[in-house]
Amino acid sequence: MFHALVAVKQVPDTTNIRIDPDTGNLVREGVPAIMNPYDAHALAEAVRWKRALGGKVTVVSMGPASFTKTIREAVELGADRGVLVSDRKFAGADTLSTSYVLAETIKVIHEEDPIDLIFFGKQAIDGDTAQVGPGVGVRLDLPVVTYAVKIRELDLEGRRVVVERKTERWTEVIEVPLPALLTCDKEIAEIPFAPLPDLIRSLRYEPEMWTMKEGPVAFDPAEVGVKGSPTVVYKMGTPPLPEAGEKVNTRDVGVEAAVKDALEKADAAGVLGAVLAQGPAAKEAQL
């Protein structure tokens, strides 16, 4: 029997973020909260293997009670059990502290029901740090494979998994012993359109809620929340607006003249001459 654990995060949909022009603050009103898309793909892969091998998928998330929505969504996508680790004291946690809370939680789940494979998304779209997954791997002393795009082989008997991970240069095929931790890119699996019975089950599902006081994990208060976080925000701001250059309408001056003018300006800025002089060599100079 296969036991997969998937860590999920609920995030504001960053495609819809807006900044208050007066205060420079993030306006969260009306911004939908969604399951981090990379996590959803990772979950889909975990569920796929569960269905192939038999077993179960446990989902863990750290966050406020509103994250129940995302745990339910995980159940809709095929998770069997959902644990939400939630406490006011966790607020303000940076990646180091978050990886502590998740690692401690996963240890407890593992003791009661040994885990074969842990799945993370490659990063969360709100923070984009890509650190919590590897951090949990280090804390649990597990092999970590980041940017996983495919699980080639999952051998429960032989206690090994063969994973394809994509880097800027190539795709690496890597074998690691189980249990292991993967952080997954979207290509790992398509998110299925859940059958109606699964959706209905998820709507009725109540996640387990573990806090500092209630629940089976003994968290060290010095490691959680702001106290357990080495980094702090110094300031927040909005990116400066670049200055716009000249705009020429080709209808007014003619295409030839407009292009000529543009190239002359590029030349004057010193970019064109360098480029033309280098010619084809420029390409080889690149990696």
Site for another protein in 107-136 (CB under 8 A): 125-135
Of 13 and 216, which CB lies nearer to another protein in the complex structure?
13
Query: How distant is the alpha carbon of residue 35 from its chain centre?
Result: 10
Q: Does 172 bind another protein (CB under 8 A)?
A: yes
Q: Does 246 bind another protein (CB under 8 A)?
A: yes
* CA gap 6, 35 in Å, rounded: 12
Q: Does 66 bind another protein (CB under 8 A)?
A: no
Q: Does 241 bind another protein (CB under 8 A)?
A: yes
Q: Does 96 bind another protein (CB under 8 A)?
A: yes
Q: Which of the stretches 1-9, 39-47, 85-93, 231-239 binds another protein when contact is defined by CB under 8 A?
A: 231-239
Residues linked to residue 155 through DSSP beta bridges, in sequence order:
160
Q: Does 52 bind another protein (CB under 8 A)?
A: no
Containing H/E element for 85? strand 81-85
Q: How far is the CB of 88 from another protein (least distance, A)?
A: 22
Q: Does 167 bind another protein (CB under 8 A)?
A: yes
The set of residues, in sequence order, having a beta carbon less than 8 Å from that of 237 and lying 6+ positions away, is 24
Both tokens of 53, joined, read: 């091998």
Contact 179, 155 (CB under 8 A): no
Contact 128, 25 (CB under 8 A): no
Q: Does 55 bind another protein (CB under 8 A)?
A: no
3-state secondary structure (DSSP) of residue 34: strand
Q: Does 206 bind another protein (CB under 8 A)?
A: no
* CA gap 260, 28 in Å, rounded: 47
- Chosen residue from 14, 65, 66, 216 binding another protein by CB under 8 A: 14
Q: How far is the CB of 236 from another protein (least distance, A)?
A: 5
Q: Which of the stretches 17-25, 40-48, 82-90, 213-221 binds another protein when contact is defined by CB under 8 A?
A: 17-25
Q: How many residues bind another protein (CB under 8 A)?
A: 111
Contact 174, 213 (CB under 8 A): no
